[in-house]
Structure 1
Amino acid sequence: MNYELLWVLALLLVAVVLFTTNKVRMDVVALLVIIAFVLSGTLSLAEATAGFSDPNVLLIAALFVIGEGLVRTGIAYQVGEWLMKAARNSETRMLVLLMITVAALGAVMSSTGVVAIFIPVVLSVSLKMKSSPARLLMPLSFAGLISGMMTLVATPPNMVVNSELLREGVAGFGFFAVTPIGIVVLAMGIGYMLVARYWLATDSTQSQGEQWLRRTFRDLIHDYHLSGRARRLAVRPGSPLIGHRLDDLGLRDHYGANVVAIERWRKFRRVMVSVSSNTELHQRDVLLIDMSSSDMDLRQFCSEKMLEPMILRGEYFSDQARDVGMAEVTLIPDSELLGKSLREVGFRSRYGVNVVGIRRAGQALDGKLIDEELQLGDILLVIGDWKQIRQLQQKKHNFLLLSLPAEVDDVAPAVSQAPHALFCLALMVAMMLTEEIPNPIAAIIACILMGKFRCIDMESAYRSIHWPSLILIVGMMPFALALQKTGGVALVVSMLMQISGGAGAHVMLISLFLLCAVIGLFISNTATAVLMAPIAIGAAREMSVSPYPFAMIIAIAASAAFMTPISSPVNTLVLAPGGYKFGDFVRLGVPFTLLVMGASVILVPILFPF
Structure 2
Amino acid sequence: MSDLAIVLLLLVSAIVMFALGRPRMDAVALVMIVALPLTGVIDVGDALAGFADPNIVLIGALFVVGEALVRTGIAQRLGDWLVRKAGRSEARLIVLLMVVVAGIGSFMSSTGVVAIFIPIVLRIARNASIPAGRLMMPLSVAALLSGMMTLVATAPNLVVHGELMRNGLEGFGFFAFTPFGLPLLALAILYMLVAKKFLGRSAAPSDVLERPTLGHFVTAYGLDGREHRFSVRPGSPLVGNSLSAFDLRGSVGINIIAIERATRFGRQLLRPRAESRIEAGDVMLIDAKSPELDMDEVAARYGLDRLALGNIYFGDRSQEIGLAELLVSPDSRLVGKTVVDARLRSATDLVAIGIRRGREAIGGPLTEVVFHAGDPILVIGPWRAITRVPQGPERLILLNTPVEIEDVAPASHRAPHAALILLVTVALMASGVVPNVIAALLGCLMFGFFGCIDMNAAYRSIHWQTLILIVGMLPFSIALQRTGGIDIVADWLLAILGGSSPRVVLATLFALTAVLGLFISNTATAVLMAPVALALAGALNVSPYPLAMTVALAASAAFMTPVSSPVNTLVVGPGNYRFFDFVMIGVPFTLVALAVTILLVPVLLPF
The answer, yes or no, to whether TM exceeds 0.5 is yes
Report if aligned partners of 1:134, 1:209 keep a CA contact under 8 Å in 2.
no
Aligned to 1:552: 549
> CA separation in 2, counterparts of 1:123 and 1:601?
37
Distance 1:124 1:84 in 2: 9
Check the 8 A contact 1:124/1:404 in 2, yes or no. Answer: no
- Deviation sequence 1:316-353 (CA, Å, 0-9, x none): 9xx987689xxxxxxxxxxxxxxxxxxxxxxxxxxx9x
Task: Note the C-alpha offset of 1:39.
Answer: 1.8
- Structure exhibiting the larger radius of gyration computed from Cα positions: 2
Q: What one-letter code is carried by the residue in structure 2 that aligns with 1:574? A: V
In the aligned structure 2, how far is the partner of 1:134 from the partner of 1:263? 42
Matching of residues 229-308 of structure 1 within 5 Å: 266-267=332-333
Other-structure match for 1:490? 487
User: Aligned runs of 1:318-337 on 2, under 5 Å?
Assistant: none
Give the corresponding residue for 2:436.
439
Q: Report the equivalent of 2:114.
A: 115
Alignment equivalent of 1:478, drawn from 475, 478, 485: 475
CA distance in structure 2 between the partners assigned to 1:208 and 1:430 by the alignment: 41
Asked if 1:577 is matched to 2:574, the reply is yes
Q: Does 1:429 align with 2:429?
A: no
Alignment of 1:205-604 (within 5 A): 205=202, 207-208=203-204, 212=208, 266-267=332-333, 385=398, 403-406=403-406, 411-604=408-601
- Partner residue of 1:49? 48
Amino acid at match of 2:84: K
Amino acid at match of 1:576: G
- The superposition leaves residues 145-183 of structure 1 with CA deviations (integer Å, 9 ceiling, x where unpaired) of 000000000000000000111111111111000001000
Inter-CA distance 154–501: structure 2 relative to 1 (3 Å threshold) = farther
Whether the 8 Å CA contact 2:51–2:471 is kept in 1: the answer is: yes
- Percent sequence identity is 53
Partner AA of 1:514 in structure 2 = A
**d(CA) in 2 for partners of 1:585, 1:598:** 19
8 Å Cα contact 1:64-1:464 kept in structure 2:
yes
Pair 1:607-2:604 in alignment: yes
Q: Does 1:19 align with 2:18?
A: yes
Write the deviation string for residues 14-68 of structure 1: whole angstroms up to 9, x where unpaired.
1111112222121121111011111221201111111011000010011011111
CA distance in 2 between partners of 1:50 and 1:452 (Å): 31
1:602 counterpart SS class: helix
Question: For each residue in 1:485-533, what CA deviation from the matched residue of structure 2 results, as whole angstroms up to 9, or x when unmatched?
Answer: 1111111111111111421211111111111111111111000000000
Q: Deviations over 1:541-571 (max 9, x none)?
A: 1111000000000000000000011111111
| Distance verdict in 2 for CA 1:405–1:565, change over 3 Å | farther
Distance 1:323 1:25, change over 3 A: farther
CA distance in 2, matches of 1:189, 1:439: 29
C-alpha separation between the residues in 2 aligned to 1:559 and 1:105? 16
For residues 97-136 of structure 1, what are the structure 2 equivalents within 5 Å? 97-136=96-135
Q: Deviations over 1:395-445 (max 9, x none)?
A: xxxxxxxx4444x6xx31111111111111111111111112100000001
Matched-pair contact (CA < 8 Å) for 1:549–1:605 = yes
Aligned twin of 2:35? 36
Between stretches 89-98 and 411-420, larger displacement belongs to 411-420
CA distance, structure 2, for counterparts of residue 103 and residue 63 of structure 1? 16
SS at structure 1 position matched to 2:499: helix
Query: Is the 2:486–2:532 Cα contact (8 Å) retained in structure 1?
Result: yes
8 Å contact 2:328–2:376 — kept in the other structure? no
Q: SS where residue 147 of structure 2 aligns?
A: helix
Alpha-carbon separation, structure 1, partners of 2:329 and 2:48? 56
Question: Deviations along 1:164-213, whole A, 9 cap, x unmatched?
Answer: 111111111110000010001100110000000001133xx3x3467756
Match of 1:564, SS state, is coil
- Runs of 5+ consecutive residues of structure 2 not aligned to the other structure: 214-326, 337-357, 362-373, 380-389, 391-396
Partner-residue secondary structure (3-state), 1:149 = coil
CA gap of 1:576–1:386, structure 2 versus 1, over 3 A, is farther
Q: Secondary structure at the match of 1:446?
A: helix
> Helix, strand or coil for the counterpart of 1:512?
helix
> Compared with structure 1, are the counterparts of its residues 511 and 83 closer, same or farther at alpha carbon in structure 2 (3 Å cutoff)?
same
**Residue number in structure 2 paired with 1:138:** 137
TM-score (norm 2): 0.70
1:460-487 per-residue CA deviation (whole Å, 9 max, x = no partner) reads: 1111111111011101000011111111
- Matched residues in 2 for 1:211 and 1:447: separation? 37
Q: Secondary structure at the match of 2:575?
A: coil
Is the Cα–Cα contact under 8 Å of residues 70 and 76 in structure 1 kept in the other structure? yes
Aligned-residue CA RMSD in angstroms?
2.7
Aligned-partner Cα distance in 2 for 1:127–1:446: 37
TM-score (norm 1): 0.70
Unaligned runs of 5+ residues in structure 1 are 218-260, 271-312, 325-351, 353-383, 391-402
Task: Call closer, same or farther: CA 1:168–1:531 in 2, change over 3 Å.
Answer: same
Residues in 1 aligned to 2:590 and 2:436: alpha-carbon distance in whole angstroms: 30
Query: What is the one-letter code of the residue matched to 1:44?
Result: D
Task: Quote the residue 1:174 is aligned against.
Answer: 173
Distance 2:431 2:499 in 1: 40
